[in-house]
Structure 1
Amino acid sequence: MIDIINIVLLIAVIFIFIALHSVLGKRTGLEKPVIFNIEEVAESATEYDKKTDIVDSIETTDLQNKFDKELKSLVKNDKQFTVNYFSEGVKKAYELILIAYAEENLKLLDSLLTQNIYEEFNHSIKVRKDKQQTLEYILIKVENLEIQDISITKNIARIKVSIHTMNNTIVSEIINNEKVNKHNTANIKEIWTFDKNLKSSDPNWKVSEINRPN
């Protein structure tokens, strides 16, 4: 009796295996090979990090050669300043500013923008509120970031950064007593200029200009 049960179970297992293989075993040629070796995965990740570090090192060296005097002045003012550290800060500031703009957080915008840019953002928020619109960022992805210029004039440090991003937004508004959501995906390239008063106790770099190249 036990043998019969075992045989039945074995047949059932074989049947299930064949069924699964017929569904999951087919390959279209698009699948990536599965790597089971943990050491190979670790080595792949390490190689990727090394390549990224090399690229960052080359870009940093180019900037140091081009803006040696300015970078030395920035390091003298702030011992923690590095090109990579600043670039990461730009990415975070970009995200914070867009989120603050969407959430109408004027206090945060005021801490990250110079007065003229703050007024532009504030005006845009007022226009949006008058139209009873709301803005939501679904995705903010910085694709590429490149420092284009560094200058220091009368204790004001200024760094121009080219920012290439992919943003997904939803704009909601009431049309004919119904809420309408408009989805938008934008591939954006802008030049953001960050200023900092080297004599000020305020540690923040503030956005002083935003331009879109033709």
Structure 2
Amino acid sequence: MSGGFPVDLILFAMVAAFLVLRLRSVLGRRQGYERPPQERQAAAPPSHGPVEAEPQPGPAPEHARPVVPDSRTPTGQVLERMRQADPAFDPRGFLAGAEGAFRMIVEAFARGDRQTLRDLLAEETYVGFEQAITAREAAGERQRTEIRAIHEMRIESADLRGTVADITVRIVSDQVNVTSGAGGEIVAGAEAVTELNDIWTFQRDLSSGDPAWKLVGTRSA
């Protein structure tokens, strides 16, 4: 921030607005899948403690492999109902947008970028992320996250309740996560590349004029 006329604030706001609008333009291609709401776990910040994996040889794929259920499966049938409710809905387009959202949210959480998180998360989900950031700041800790590759984006389940669509996605990624203490010492994580399996649920009211899907739940597989 600057003193006097906040030119830099205006520029930052314009850049943030551009990123959010671009993400919405992709996630806003209405689509949907998810688990029933009673099965959804309470949203929590991404956990980064799964199983370590050897780095994969060769260059990382430019985009994750999208996996969409067959139309004959129960989940596929829910997707078809969403397509009927909103002809613009496309499961593969949704997965492409979800991949972008995943990158932005994970990196924003590591940076403590509350505004980006507020734009992309449902209110209850944001509260959990914000509390984790506040606790980290109070402890004088800093987190560094590098997403080395996203290998797969798989629609796990879907639910349509009236016009409210939920999509649950399994995200397989390679990451480096290191949390450093006030003195620079590593207090959590490691420099090793770790393969993570995250289950994220996005939600949108298909009748809304707002095309953005919001993150409403996270857990580790």
Name segments (4+ residues, structure 1) moved above 6 Å. none
Q: TM-score, normalised by structure 1?
A: 0.63
User: What is the deviation of 1:79?
Assistant: 3.8
Do residues 64 (structure 1) and 71 (structure 2) align? yes
Q: Which residue in the other structure is 1:134 paired with? A: 142
- TM-score, scaled to structure 2: 0.61
Mark the structure with the bigger radius of gyration: 1
Q: Which runs of 5+ in 2 are unaligned?
A: 1-64
1:83 lines up with 2:91 in the alignment: yes
1:114 to 111, 122, 127: 122
CA contact (8 A) 2:147 2:173 kept: no
Q: Aligned residue for 1:30?
A: none
SS at match of 1:87: helix
For 1:167, the equivalent position in structure 2 comes to 175
Match of 1:155 in 2: 163
Whether the 8 Å contact between 1:168 and 1:183 is mirrored in structure 2 is yes
Shift of 1:95: 0.4
* Structure 1 residue 119 displacement after superposition: 0.7
3-state SS of the aligned residue for 1:199? Answer: coil
The one-letter amino acid paired with 1:63 is D
Structure-to-structure mapping, 1:169-188, within 5 angstroms: 169-175=177-183, 179-181=184-186, 183-184=190-191, 185-188=193-196
Deviation at 1:204, TM superposition (A): 1.1
Q: Quote the offset at 1:139 in angstroms.
A: 2.7
Q: Secondary structure at the match of 2:196?
A: strand
Distance 2:89 2:144 in 1: 33
Deviation at 1:194, TM superposition (A): 1.0
Per the alignment, residue 7 of structure 2 pairs with none
Consecutive unaligned residues in structure 1, runs of 5 or more:
1-54
Which SS does the other structure have where 1:159 is aligned? strand
Aligned to 2:107: 99
SS at match of 2:149: strand
Structure 2 distance, partners of 1:169, 1:68, is: 35
> Identical aligned pairs, as a percentage?
21
> CA distance change for structure 1 residues 154 and 78 in 2, over 3 Å: closer, same or farther?
closer
User: Greater RCO between the two (CA within 8 Å, min separation 6)?
Assistant: 2
User: Pick from 123, 129, 133: which aligns with 1:125?
Assistant: 133
Give the Cα separation in 2 of the matches to 1:134 and 1:183. 13
Larger displacement relative to structure 2 (126-135 or 198-207): 198-207
In the aligned structure 1, how far is the partner of 2:80 from the partner of 2:169? 19
Q: What's the C-alpha RMSD, in Å, of the aligned pairs?
A: 2.3
